[in-house]
Amino acid sequence: MILGSTEIDKLIQKKKLLENYLEENIEGAGVDLRVGKIFHLKSGAKLTTSERVLPEIEEINGRHFVLKPDHYVLIQTMEKVNMPLNICARMLPRSTIQRSGVYQFHAFIDPGYSGTLTFGMKNLGKFDFEFEKGTKIAQIIFELVKGKTKAYKGKYQGGKVT
């Protein structure tokens, strides 16, 4: 079951579901998230059954950014989530992003995760896409988890980018 704005607001007040959010960004069944930090990938990566090597990253300074065609960046949200054990979440791109030829790569947000959110963004179009830090870029949708669950124990707890 997807949570509506009144349930989201209750969880924000009682459980600090979201921190550093703007109240006007709470929509009917989700919350718009804003661009916090932007990162370039500086190296390759590797993922096997016995080894995980993440890419080196470099933060991009400045308020404005131009995403060139075929360029890929990591975006870290300004907002922080604190997921209770009975709530999970998914992120979706705002429709303006897709209409601009830009695609986002989101991961599932597990119960028990706490931290900022990081996702990939790539310009699939033929033209530059300009945006700035603080811009509404994605939406988070919260869902109720029915039954017993486990808390997230992964390496990105706390909002670690890589």
Q: What is the pLDDT of residue 162?
A: 87
Q: What is the pLDDT of residue 6?
A: 97
Structural domains in the chain, sorted by start: 5-144 (2.70.40.10)
Entry pTM: 0.94
Kindly write down the DSSP assignment for every residue of 81-128, as one continuous string: EE--TTEEEEEEE-HHHHHTTEEEE---B-TT-EEEEEEEEEE-SSS-
**Residue 22 clears pLDDT 90, i.e. is over it:** yes
What is the average per-residue pLDDT within 52-74?
Answer: 96
Mean pLDDT of the chain: 96
What is the average per-residue pLDDT within 8-20?
Answer: 97
Q: CA 37 → CA 45, 66, 94, distances in Å? A: 21, 14, 18
Percent of the chain with pLDDT over 90: 98
Q: How confident is the model at residue 130 (pLDDT cuts 50, 70, 90)?
A: very high
Q: What is the pLDDT of residue 108?
A: 97
